[in-house]
Copies of this chain bind each other. A is one copy, B any other.
Amino acid sequence: MMKFKSPPVNSLSLDFLTEFCISLEKLENDRACRGVIFTSAVPKIFSSGLDITEMCGKSMEHYAEFWRAVQEMWLRLYGSNMVTVAAVNGSSPAGGCLVALSCDYRIMVENPKFSIGLNEAQLGIVAPFWFKDTFVNVVGHRIAERSLQLGSLYPAPEALKFGLVDELVPEEKLQEKAMAVMAQWLALPDHARQLTKSMMRKVVLDRLLAHREEDIQNFISFISKESIQKSLRMYMEMLKKRKS
């Protein structure tokens, strides 16, 4: 079990992503480890997604390094040979939702105050094509199209209805349930399961691998636009005010 613990909101900073990838690689290479459960050690939030401070007022080099780390995280997680279960014990917008979507199975606490979704559009940002591909593979084209355009965040019960999460449980049952699901998946022979997973996800993984540098350039040129920088600064101001 891997517990995200980067208060206040488990945002995916460059440091967080780097550490996450290293941990994942270690586990991947550890033959004794056949599966991982991801959950949060921070109350009420699973992960708030990409760290906006990494995308605001930094150098081109920094943007490139950051985006490569985001790609790396997804490539490792979505392509993992291990069984991956997201035990979503709090809200999970944007990049946090991507982490959950990239797992094999998603269990969420049945608290309607916790919401999940790819809400990038609300910030004036476009979710990259591989966020979209991952999303479409889980909820289908129609729900993805509408949700991405509206930047929808779904309360847990609605997320279940759309198949964005697989199951809801009371908070106190989350860990137990995640262990039970993991046991069910680990009952299958690894080799066949891994080949099957790879068969299902390869097309989408290969698409990013084929366009990785292009995707980084896209990100840099988009994020460094003055209009985008301005709207990110406004969003950060709003977050600061809300806190105080």
List the interface of chain A (C-beta within 8 A of B). 104-105, 120-127, 129, 132, 136-142, 144-146, 148-151, 163, 166, 184-185, 188-189, 191-193, 195-197, 199-201, 227, 231
Given contacts A120-B192, A142-B163, A149-B188, 8 further A-B contacts (CB under 8 A): A126-B199, A139-B142, A140-B140, A140-B142, A141-B200, A149-B193, A150-B188, A151-B192
Q: Is B149's CB under 8 angstroms from A185's CB?
A: yes
Q: Which residue of B lies closest to A201 (CB)?
A: B145
Q: Which residues of B contact A201 (CB under 8 A)?
A: 145
Contact of A144 among B129, B193, B200 (CB under 8 A): B200
Q: Is A185's CB under 8 angstroms from B142's CB?
A: no
Q: Which residues of B contact A166 (CB under 8 A)?
A: 146
Q: Which residues of B contact A127 (CB under 8 A)?
A: 196
Q: Which residue of B lies closest to A190 (CB)?
A: B124
For the complex, what is the distance from the CA of A85 to the CA of B68, rounded to whole Å?
Answer: 38
Q: Is A149's CB under 8 angstroms from B231's CB?
A: no
- Most B C-beta atoms less than 10 A away, residue of A104, A132, A192, A231: A192
Contact of A141 among B120, B125, B140 (CB under 8 A): B140
Q: Is A121's CB under 8 angstroms from B189's CB?
A: yes
Can you sample 15 A-B contacts with CB below 8 Å? A104-B146, A121-B192, A121-B193, A121-B196, A124-B191, A125-B192, A126-B199, A132-B200, A136-B141, A137-B145, A138-B142, A141-B200, A146-B166, A149-B188, A149-B197
For the complex, what is the distance from the CA of A192 to the CA of B121, rounded to whole Å?
Answer: 6
On whether A148 and B105 interact (CB within 8 A), knowing A121-B188, A137-B141, the answer reads no
Q: Is A185's CB under 8 angstroms from B141's CB?
A: no
Q: Which residues of B contact A150 (CB under 8 A)?
A: 184-185, 188
For the complex, what is the distance from the CA of A139 to the CA of B141, rounded to whole Å?
Answer: 8
For the complex, what is the distance from the CA of A95 to the CA of B116, rounded to whole Å?
Answer: 37
Q: Which residue of B lies closest to A129 (CB)?
A: B199
Shortest beta-carbon distance from A49 to chain B in Å: 15
Q: Which residues of B contact A120 (CB under 8 A)?
A: 192
Q: Is B188's CB under 8 angstroms from A105's CB?
A: no
Q: Which residues of B contact A163 (CB under 8 A)?
A: 142
Q: Which residues of B contact A193 (CB under 8 A)?
A: 121, 149
On whether A199 and B137 interact (CB within 8 A), knowing A188-B122, A188-B149, the answer reads no
